[in-house]
Structure 1
Amino acid sequence: MASLSLGLSLSRKKNALRNAAVERKNLLTVCRLSVKTLIDRSCFETIDDSAPEFVNFASILEQILSHRLKGQVTWFGYESPRSFWDYIRVACSKVSHSCICSIENMENVSSSRAKGRAWIRVALMEKRLSEYITAALRDYKTTRRFYDDGAIVLGEEANMLAGMLLGLNAIDFSFCLKGEGLDGTHPAVIDYTPYLKFTQSSDSISSDEEELRTLGSSGSESSTPENIGPPFIMDENSWYNKCKKVEQKYRLALEQKGYLEELVRLREAQFTESVSQNKLLLQRIEDIELNHKLEKEQLEYIIVELQDQL
């Protein structure tokens, strides 16, 4: 029995580690695609709070920075939840000419989550979001203090995140820091639908070798050689172009597989929560029925006593 329980424990631990790795990979992949959609949208208009591409990107970045974030232990031993702004405020405090103090003193923004969302917008307008993230990740001691093991910002994927955000410096953003997007009461929800039907145009295929290396760094199945030799023939019917098209289709299929896995994980979490709520409701119903039965018996006993007195 002991060996069986030990085997089950090891199996559960391996599954948990695998699920955590899949979650990290999916969040980074969808973040990379959200940056691409933002860049494509910026070619036609200025990005503001009303753009669905930005709303989705802000939700993705918020979930990445909140991934396995530790709670704050109070004097009484209770653990209160934290926001990623608590980490950014400390880790980026030494960045020169930063916006940390101005956001901390904003009058219309009170909650920690709302301040974090305001920081994302200000950093994008300043074209310094990648700089802030890089400076925060360099402070490994502070990062280690705020995050648990397995967090995205503690792994090798953190450097990929800073590189992805560097492309946003070419976009002109315009945000209102008094809008509904700063409401700290609503959680960050990612809409995966646009990325499930995402198709990359031939004009936007830039640095394909770098993207394939980035995607293949987390698994051997998607790896690609670092150096691809120059094509001998550069017409449309060359083997080089055909190979590139096959690689692009394979990469898109692999990314969509990751999105579907993430959707399944979210649905499983929702199902588990629904089951637990159902159990609580059933327990409450049983308690109410038991109380009702006891009250009925007490009333019957009182009626019998009154009849005896009469």
Structure 2
Amino acid sequence: MAALSLCRKKNACRNAAVERKNLITVCRFSVKTLIDRSCFETIDDSAPEFLNFASILEQILSHRLKGQLTWFGYESPRSFWDYIRVACSKVSHSCICSIENMENVSSSRAKGRAWIRVALMEKRLSEYITAALRDYKTTRRFYEDGAIVLGEEANMLAGMLLGLNAIDFSFCLKGEGLDGSYPAVIDYTPYLKFTQSSDSISSDEEELRTLGSSGSESSTPENIGPPFTMDENTWYNKCKRVEQKYRLALEQKGYLEELVRLREVQLSDSVTQNKLLLQRIKDTELNHKLEKEQLEYIIVELQDQLKTFHRFGHLSADASLSQISFDPGHSQDGNGKHDGSRLSGGKEETPSLLGLCGSLTSVASYKSLTSLKSSECLASPTTEMTSPGLTPS
């Protein structure tokens, strides 16, 4: 058991060392590609070389970063911006305060990505990294053993970033690159080179065939002499070459599996976001449909009210015209206008007669009433009072 634990510990140390070396090597390659790209055009957020460099630098600064302990003893994840904010606080004329006060950047990871862009535009990224690494106490407090910033690779990192001061960068601090919800993914494909020719394949097959045939011959008692007469160094070199090629293929297989895993995570995130967007679109369409129905109902009500208003206006106009036309005081005959207070024969109208005339609805009935009044069927109250044959009681 002790040997097994010791072997596991050695393997973990070896894997950590390989990881640190690979990150530093890839960072050097990315800096070189950035410098080559800057000779032809300005580097901005759309350049894939810069996006890959920013992901690599974020991975380096986040390598073996300690979490933050809460009141309940749990360790919450932390971003490299927390370390940069403390370690670079003493740098003169730094951009730390301005990035900390940015309104459109809320998460810690997004602020760290904004700091990388601002430091590149200021051409002071190497200066910030050097100042942070000099504060060894703060670095030790934020990182665990085996981190890149605590090893010898940190000095190489500050030196290789110095070459970026010759590049003019132009970034927008309001784009999607500052979204802290997406992890930093490194694309290793531009830095991999597969040069396996047919000769190497045939030599590998021949070596494996030689090893297999030698092993089979050594197992038979007839051919004991020739295999053992071979040089021991030759055996050792052949086995060493095969082992190296096997390890290389194993590392490439691990890289491809990790790349597939990252792509699957990105695909699942994209599917989730697509579902959320589709649900949002359905909700928006439903709200628009309800608003449209409400507006149509309001339009129908307004049209009904408008029709009622026009109908009421026509009725009031007809009523006013009929009142003007059928008013006994404004009646006319063929000879012209006459005084409405006098009837035919120069006799005054009584109150009962005026009330009766007001209740008439046509000129014909009014004329018939006048003819009746002038005949013997109706008598004026004044004539009855002044008749010589009658005396008032």
| TM-score normalised over the length of structure 1 | 0.64
Q: State the distance in 1 between where 2:220 and 2:99 align.
A: 43
* Residue 39 of structure 1, CA deviation: 0.2
**Which residue of the partner structure matches residue 84 of structure 1?**
80
| TM-score normalised over the length of structure 2 | 0.51
Deviates more, 1:276-285 or 1:252-261: 276-285
Q: State the distance in 2 between where 1:235 and 1:147 align.
A: 50
Q: Show CA shifts across 1:12-53 (max 9, x none).
A: 000000000000000000000000000000000000000000
Q: Which structure has the larger Rg over C-alpha atoms? A: 2
Checking the alignment, whether the CA contact within 8 Å between 1:213 and 1:225 is kept in structure 2 is no
| Structure 1 residues 230 and 104: CA distance shift in structure 2, 3 A | farther
Higher relative contact order (CA 8 A, sep 6+): 1
* Residue 148 of structure 1, CA deviation: 0.2
Checking the alignment, whether the CA contact within 8 Å between 2:218 and 2:227 is kept in structure 1 is no
**Which residue of the partner structure matches residue 57 of structure 2?**
61
Q: State the distance in 1 between where 2:223 and 2:126 align.
A: 27
| Structure 1 residues 173 and 306: CA distance shift in structure 2, 3 A | closer
Q: Show CA shifts across 1:160-195 (max 9, x none).
A: 000010000000000000000000000000001111
| Structure 1 residues 17 and 238: CA distance shift in structure 2, 3 A | closer
Q: CA RMSD in A?
A: 12.9
Aligned residues between the structures: 304
Q: Show CA shifts across 1:197-232 (max 9, x none).
A: 499999999999999999999999999999999999
> 1:248 aligned to 234, 244, 250, which one?
244
* Residue 196 of structure 1, CA deviation: 1.2
Q: State the distance in 2 between where 1:228 and 1:281 align.
A: 74
5+ long unaligned stretches in structure 2 = 305-393
| Structure 1 residues 292 and 204: CA distance shift in structure 2, 3 A | same
**Which residue of the partner structure matches residue 286 of structure 2?**
290
Deviates more, 1:11-20 or 1:261-270: 261-270
Q: State the distance in 2 between where 1:43 and 1:224 align.
A: 66
Checking the alignment, whether the CA contact within 8 Å between 2:214 and 2:227 is kept in structure 1 is no
1:208 and 2:207 aligned: no
Q: Show CA shifts across 1:90-121 (max 9, x none).
A: 00000000000000000000000000000000
Percent identical residues: 93
Checking the alignment, whether the CA contact within 8 Å between 1:26 and 1:258 is kept in structure 2 is no
| Structure 1 residues 134 and 69: CA distance shift in structure 2, 3 A | same
Checking the alignment, whether the CA contact within 8 Å between 1:213 and 1:223 is kept in structure 2 is no
| Structure 1 residues 38 and 257: CA distance shift in structure 2, 3 A | farther
| Structure 1 residues 306 and 136: CA distance shift in structure 2, 3 A | closer
5+ long unaligned stretches in structure 1 = none
1:111 and 2:107 aligned: yes
* Residue 76 of structure 1, CA deviation: 1.2
